[in-house]
A and B are shown apart, each in its own frame.
Chain A
Amino acid sequence: MTLHRGRGFAAINYPIGMNLGGDPSQALVHSNPDGKFTVALSAIDLGQGMKSVTRQIAAETLGVPIADVYVDTADSDTGPHDMGSFASRGTHRMGNAVIQASLEARAVMLEAAAEELEVDAGDLVTDGQGNIHVRGAPSRTITTMAAAQAAQFRQGRTIAGRGIFLVPLSEVDPETGEMSPVTTFAHAALVVEVEVDAETGEVEVLDIQSAYEVGRALNPGLVEQQLRGGAWMGMSHAAWETTEPYYPDRDHGPVDFDHYAMPGPGDLATHHISVLERPAEDGPYGGKGPGEMCANPVLPAVVNAIYDAVGVRIDDLPVTPEKVLRGIRANGGARPRQAL
């Protein structure tokens, strides 16, 4: 018997929306006379879904259907200032800026509707389907399109809003490290199962059982894609990748994907994800941003699982067959524990 299975556990938290630079994000929202809204940003969609999540946030806040909102990013002539999409700040910072801009635009839209309906704007609600009506009296209604046309052609109002999200910068104390680096943290814990071949030293990740706490899953589809891809990246960091295989020596650095090995479809572990939502008080609709933290617990869980399988501690990443075999040899053979 040379195949040994083991399980490893790890738990982490992750700072969301780093604030050490004090850099804010801005958003502009405006409607055309048809009641269709454009959100102008300078944020970057790297594939993580920046355009989509800000579109949902704008539609929710404006109270209009998602089809009536389009996100335009990133043109420095038309998009307001934003430092970029990094440090888990995109959804958190930009989402809040979009909420503020949308609230301002919504207020003008409701004023325009109120003037047409001859009611107080404070009595109006949106149904999210393109209609504005008096609270408790759905028959006294006007479409968002009619309100926008009235604003443009009769009332001379601009349905537009400006948003910025700024958390004052954090000082850092040189003596103690006292600081306010972020305002919220995401969380994760998972169990990884591996199989280790004690003859070849090869490690296969078989299964991941995870729990990720993301504040609020603003779009569960985007969250699932982040978590699935991120966990894949975590197992790849643990047992496949490096630009310098003999670090700190620089030799044998890979120069293409033939030599920079990453797990392919046949190497993927099944991954059972549970999403927890404990809203952050300053997150957009409580959202925290799952993108960065999802890989982190997988790395230690994999090495802990290898220890559980064959009794070898790998403290230098990445795990390679050579390191596993040397460890087994140093122990005088595999020492299966299966303690978890």
Chain B
Amino acid sequence: MSDRRSDRNGFEMRKDLFADERDDDLNEIGKRIRRQDIEGHVTGRSPFYDDHLFDGLLHIRCVRSPHHHARIRRIDTSEADRMEGVVRIVTGRDVPVNLNTLLSLLDFGLDDEPLLSEGKVAYRGEPVAAVIARTEAQARAATRTVRVDWEVLPHVLDVEEALKPGAPTVNETYPGNAFVYHGKYDHQKLRYGDVDRALAEADHVIEGRYQMSPIEQAPIETCGAIAAQEQNGRYVCYTGTQALFFSLGTASKLLELPSSRLHFIGGTVGGGFGGKVDSIHEPLAILGTMLTGQPCKSQWDREEEMQVGAPRGAERWYLTDGVMNDGRIVARKFTGYFDSGAYTRLTSYAVIKCAGHLPGPYTIPNVHADVYCVYTNRTPATAMRGFGITGVDFAIEAHMDKVAETVGLHPVELRILNAYRDGDMKAHRRLAKNCALVECCQVAAQKAGLRLSPDMLAASSKTGGGGPRAELPAHTATDQNGLVEGFSSGSYARKGGAPASPAIVATLPPGASAPASRPAAPAPEPKDPAPRPDAPRADTSPPARKPARSGAMRFSSLSGFRRR
């Protein structure tokens, strides 16, 4: 229907704006220079992980749960063992450390997910065994002959249902079906000012409920990895990861291999969009090589990429705004539910990122948010472009349209009126700087031929902020809602202070199970870069000491996320 689209695409650099803040006289920066790798890409010669097809390469295919939630009574591989081309069948007992959470590399969260599940499954598609065979077709055929004796359990798929008393426990690490923040609450709180009082005094109270759908990252190249033996007991892994040392560290932990024995090669990837951080194929391919002595490949097909590979998770948002007749938003309240699926992966982190983003790009004197990372019996969610932000920005900006209609204000003018400006205090208690929302609103409106009042055209991100808008609220209402018992307050929030249950260490080929224990680095005292908030601090006891862990390569000795 191109006839109805009058113009071609346009692109312009607005060099006139913020010109005094830039030096535009540079040699290479700011130039349209051709990509270093584009010739290889357009001629089909760039090497991707799947181009490293070693002689004798074996193929790994997983046996997956057909149920949302079920106990595994028994796995019978006797028929599959006899299938043509089958070299080895791997189960959870073969995984040296079969329990992990991705963000343990950042000291955040409890191990909650096996590489190959042993006791139970908590989502349809969860892997319980992996067949290694000479061809992919043979591996596929053999997976169909693995017999699993299932005991089907009740399941829960809705985030709000999952949080109700009596809901089936999806993830035993978090029996309440919610990630535990700071060893203390079943959600992340954002408290700034007194929302309830401001709502009571507002001219209008506007409510809304928004649902963000789960989305597939849809890279052209599906997730995967190829591993092979190198000299000196090392393993090389060609991978499509978008996080090289995340994947290396995760493999090191799950396989109990020191990182010196892992050689990861990647860097040229056929699209990721967030879905290639989860590091599932790298440990599986290396484990296959450890067990068979031959190169192994693990790779999702398109169906797995779409239904087993972690999507952008769904989010549900409830918003309540208190607005004055002139359009000033004086209070904004959020309740948000991130659907993490059966395991944590990265959703716990997205919740924090999201809380730090609220209430969006506006200066609102009273803000309140409860944001939950909820476990349900579905494919675990993970990162995707705009992670933690896209869903709530949809909610905020759809809501702003309703606010504009309610108070009878132009939608663009409502944004400019409430826009954050240089020097404003934000709800996460840091001063805004380097703002440009006002200018973006003005440019977009002007291009679209929308008429703005002279006041709005004269507005600037550089003026009108700071002063009283830089001050913290005189009073912030806090609460203890959602208090959780039984989790320690350390950054690495061990339930009850006890170490996570040790995984069964399987018998491995000689030399393959070198322990990689190293003590945790001591946590530095946190700095205090900002003025103290007015919030009360009920407990100043020191955080729990972190026990030494084995296998994991740590990237930071951080004590982040712990309470102060």
A residues neighboring B (CB under 8 Å)? 7-15, 18, 20-23, 41-47, 49, 51-52, 55-57, 59-60, 63, 66, 70-71, 73-77, 79, 81-87, 128, 168-182, 184-185, 187-191, 195, 204, 206-207, 209-213, 215-222, 224, 228, 230, 233, 237, 241-244, 247-250, 253-257, 260, 262, 266, 269-281, 285-286, 291-293, 295-297, 299-301, 303-304, 307, 313, 315-318, 340
Main secondary structure of the interface of B (DSSP, over half): loop
Q: Given the complex, which residues of A lie within 8 Å of B376, measured CB to CB?
A: 248
26 A-B pairs with C-beta separation under 8 A:
A9-B411, A11-B444, A22-B556, A45-B269, A46-B269, A75-B267, A76-B245, A83-B555, A176-B533, A177-B188, A178-B533, A181-B428, A187-B361, A190-B444, A210-B444, A217-B13, A243-B307, A248-B158, A248-B159, A256-B306, A270-B10, A274-B13, A276-B17, A277-B18, A297-B393, A303-B401
**Structural contact, B12 and A275, CB atoms closer than 8 A:** yes
**Structural contact, B9 and A228, CB atoms closer than 8 A:** yes
Q: Given the complex, which residues of A lie within 8 Å of B396, measured CB to CB?
A: 300
Main secondary structure of the interface of A (DSSP, over half): loop
**Structural contact, A60 and B29, CB atoms closer than 8 A:** yes
**Structural contact, A276 and B436, CB atoms closer than 8 A:** yes
Q: Given the complex, which residues of A lie within 8 Å of B86, measured CB to CB?
A: none
Give the nearest-CB partner of A316 in chain B.
B211
Interface residues of B in 527-564 (CB under 8 A from A): 527, 529-530, 533, 535-538, 555-556, 558-564
B87 within 8 A of A: no
**Structural contact, B447 and A272, CB atoms closer than 8 A:** yes
A40 CA to B556 CA in the complex, in Å?
Answer: 22
Give the nearest-CB partner of A46 in chain B.
B272
**Structural contact, A73 and B564, CB atoms closer than 8 A:** no
B285 to chain A minimum Cβ distance, whole angstroms, is 15
Contact of B556 among A169, A207, A218, A315 (CB under 8 A): A169
A191 CA to B33 CA in the complex, in Å?
Answer: 30
B375 within 8 A of A: no
Contact of B246 among A83, A216, A249 (CB under 8 A): A83
A177 CA to B265 CA in the complex, in Å?
Answer: 38
Contact of A317 among B17, B190, B212, B441 (CB under 8 A): B212
Q: Given the complex, which residues of A lie within 8 Å of B331, measured CB to CB?
A: none
Q: Given the complex, which residues of B lie within 8 Å of A307, measured CB to CB?
A: 401
- Whether A221 contacts B314 in the complex (CB less than 8 A), given A59-B27, A191-B445, A243-B215, comes out as no
A241 CA to B189 CA in the complex, in Å?
Answer: 31
Q: Given the complex, which residues of A lie within 8 Å of B103, measured CB to CB?
A: 21
- Categorize the interface residue count of chain B: 35 or more
Shortest Cβ-Cβ A-B pairs, 8 listed: A84-B243, A300-B397, A74-B267, A181-B356, A128-B27, A177-B190, A272-B10, A211-B443
**Structural contact, A52 and B35, CB atoms closer than 8 A:** yes
Q: Given the complex, which residues of B lie within 8 Å of A184, measured CB to CB?
A: 434
A66 to chain B minimum Cβ distance, whole angstroms, is 5
B70 within 8 A of A: no
Interface residues of B in 148-180 (CB under 8 A from A): 157-159
**Structural contact, A189 and B440, CB atoms closer than 8 A:** yes
Flag the segment in B73-81, B381-389, B514-522 that touches A: B381-389
**Structural contact, B440 and A213, CB atoms closer than 8 A:** yes
